[in-house]
Structure 1
Amino acid sequence: MANIILFNKPFNVLSQFTDDDGRPTLANYMTAPGYRVAGRLDYNSEGLLILTDDGRLQQQIANPVHKNWKNYLVQVEGEPDTATVEQLATGVKLNDGMTRPAKARKVAQPVLWDRDPPIRVRKTVSDSWLELSIREGRNRQIRRMTANVGFPTLRLVRIAVGEWTIEGLQPGQYREMSVPMTIRRMKPNPPQRKP
């Protein structure tokens, strides 16, 4: 068995326990010696952060090779049309290459906690919500994807990683649990044939 902590990370909290600049960290919310973060969440993003006391499980959760879906609710500036949503799903060309196929759909405004500070509201520009699911983890990937197709991200909330969700957790709350270890064996690359 391995132990995990499911934490609903508030806005503007670092996904680590220390910070030389005095910004809020995980230590403001919990004491968890021996636990490490399995897949970071940006300082200005909110939602599910998983910590574990098992290095193998940490790699299985965080490493894109294991293809765990990460689901996000994304508030964007503007109203993307169907073609834009399909582009997000099929792949977006970023400066570090094409993104892998994703899942993307427009959704109604979700019921979420108030963000502190609140999102900047512009009376002349509408906003809308998307649900995006990806299997990779490039730096600030969702924000770069939506900006690339012309709809900058205003708010980003990770709601699930694989089977784990933030259901029932308010910002700053966490739940501890034990999980069975079922590490997937990675297939080695086939040997190269000599010409």
Structure 2
Amino acid sequence: MIVVPRTVSAKDSYRLLIGTLLPRPIAWVSSMNRAGNLNLAPFSYFTVASNRPMTLLFCPQPLSEAGEKKDTLRNVEEVPEFVINLANEETAEAMNRSSTPLPPGHSEFEWAGVTPAPSVTIRVPRVLEAPVSFECTLQQIVKAGDTPGAGSVVFGEVQCIHMRDDIYVNGYVRLDALKPIARLAGISYTRITETFDMARPPLPDELRHDI
């Protein structure tokens, strides 16, 4: 089968992407507007952009094909800082509750039953219950296209990391303590319950002369 993106609907494009690019880690983003109102929302279009400077990215998609922006994107444009909190097995339900489209004036923190905790380097609070939180300052926002329905890529430079003491031990992150979750298609999520190791193969001697 061959699929040409421009020939399928926006809904089918979405289903194809979320159904094939799996699993996806979840950025649980806290942000704030100029008036000081907080927002908390999960995004599974999320990954690492750079080690040095330490930079993360997440990609808010518009609320509709007309291009209406999500609160998180509007907030980051107004107050250029945010916290990327990681959701895990223990906070999965709260993370999911924070995705509810609440009416104006209602707090996702309160609705999800989580605690806004002061950050160290920025004004936006982190989620106290999150196992790991990255305080970020906005680096840049890149629009992924010229059409109204195009998403945006938000780059944030990490200024401070909060981690539970049992997660980072002797220079390594303990997977069994972090208990990460990831997004699949539809309403499905996954846990990391089984892993396998593969060392990178060395370069054969017969190819070394080509270096």
TM-score tier by shorter-chain length is under 0.3
Report the TM-score when normalising by structure 2: 0.23
Larger Rg: 2
Report the TM-score when normalising by structure 1: 0.24
